[in-house]
A and B are shown apart, each in its own frame.
Chain A
Amino acid sequence: MTTLDALQETLAAEHATLYTYGVLGARTSQGATPELYGVLDAAYRRHRSRRDQLRLMVEEAGGEPVAAAAAYELDGRLLRADQLASAALDLEVSGVQTMLALVAQSSGTVRSWALTEATWSAAWQLELGGTPQTWPGAPELD
């Protein structure tokens, strides 16, 4: 796999993550659960920036950025605050795995950026009720 392939895979995953965060945010009440709303909103912004950066990196690598799908399938209808937080936690757990895959398939500035994003997603899991892990993003090492 080339770095460009890895970037495209990461971008495709990021499209799905951003879509899901949008849905989760829309189902979150800023008035009733302001803390959760703030956490989801901050994550949405981070992932939007991540998607934009990935698009740039794909172009810089000579590729045409993969487009987002019209919609993505979500598991069930999440309505309670704890369900929304849990779904967001799953996104960040998956996000670390995705970024670690990009780390392995890249070097230089792309790897450094992927590492930064992996550590952000790992740390953000704690805001969503997660706990520190020994091998985030690499569960086969446990």
Chain B
Amino acid sequence: MGSALAAPLVLAACDIDPPARESSSGPATAPPPEDADLVASVVAELARAEAVLAEAATRSAALGAVRTAHAAHRELLIGAVEGAELPASEPVHLPDDPERALSVVRRSERRLQRAVREGCTAAASGDLARVLASIAASTAQHSAALSSEVAP
């Protein structure tokens, strides 16, 4: 992850600047305050999905990559909002049957995908929307990979 994201900012320009292709339109601007709630709701969804993955990862190593990606997504979003904290997630109990447990993970990822998509379309900041679109794209890739995953 880029070092520019280390310091908490209010979704400032250096945080989630688009690449050169878009930068010709001028520097990114900080989003209006209402995006902070939006980010918080996506972070909460990421934390929930991570909790599901953490429980499931003990049974399938292939889920580790999804979990790692979501942790990076969450870290960036938390770092972008001043004073943001990681919300506590509810304890997760997965079915003992591996196939049913994997189904729970797939449903969880679909729920996350919907939440990220809603956040992207509602974001006042174009830069934030772009970051959320990338998270949605990443989640779509991991979900596609999970769709072919066979329970151990």
Q: Is B22 touching A105 in the complex (CB atoms < 8 A)? A: yes
A101 engages B130 (CB within 8 Å): yes
Residues of chain B contacted by A141 (CB below 8 angstroms)? 1-2, 5, 16, 76, 131, 134
Residue of B nearest to A13 (CB): B21
Residue pair B129, A119 in contact (C-beta under 8 Å):
no
A101 touches B18 (CB 8 A): yes
Is B138 within 8 A of A133, CB to CB? yes
CB within 8 A of B129: which of A96, A103, A122? Answer: A103
For residue B142, CB closer than 8 A to chain A, the reply is yes
A104/B18 in contact, CB under 8 A: yes
Tell me whether A115 and B138 are in contact in the complex, defined as CB-CB below 8 angstroms, given that A101-B18, A134-B72 are known contacts: no
B134 close to A137 (CB less than 8 A): yes
Residues of B contacting A131 in the complex (Cβ-Cβ under 8 angstroms): 141, 145
A contact patch SS: helix
B-contacting residues, A76-109, CB 8 Å: 96-97, 99-101, 103-108
Interface centre among B21, B117, B134 (most CB of A within 10 A): B134
**Interface SS majority for chain B:** helix
How distant is A118 from chain B, measured CB to nearest CB, in Å? 5
CB contact under 8 A between A138 and B130, given known A97-B19, A132-B69: yes
Residues in B with CB closer than 8 Å to A135 are 72, 134, 138
Residue B120, interface by CB 8 Å: yes
Shortest Cβ distance from B2 into chain A, in angstroms? 6
Interface membership of B140, Cβ < 8 A: yes
Chain B residues whose C-beta falls within 8 Å of the C-beta of A118 in the assembled complex: 133-134, 136-137
Chain B residues whose CB sits within 8 angstroms of the CB of A99 once the complex forms: 133
Check A137 against B133 for contact (C-beta < 8 Å).
Answer: yes
Q: Which residues of B contact A106 (CB under 8 A)?
A: 126
Please give me the residue from chain A that is nearest to B15 by CB atom: A141
A: interface residue count bin = 35 or more
Cβ-based interface call for B25 (8 A): yes
Whether A132 and B65, one on each chain, are in contact in the complex, defined by CB atoms closer than 8 angstroms, is yes
**B144 adjacent to A115 (CB under 8 Å):** no
Q: Tell me the A residues contacting B by CB distance below 8 Å.
A: 1, 96-97, 99-101, 103-108, 111-112, 114-115, 118-123, 125-126, 130-142
Seen from chain B, the residues whose Cβ lies within 8 Å of a Cβ on chain A are 1-2, 5, 16-19, 21-22, 24-25, 65-66, 68-69, 72-73, 76, 113, 117, 120-121, 126-127, 129-131, 133-134, 136-138, 140-145
Besides the contacts A100-B130, A142-B2, what 12 more A-B pairs have beta carbons closer than 8 Å? A103-B120, A103-B126, A111-B129, A118-B136, A122-B137, A132-B65, A132-B142, A136-B134, A137-B137, A138-B131, A141-B1, A141-B2
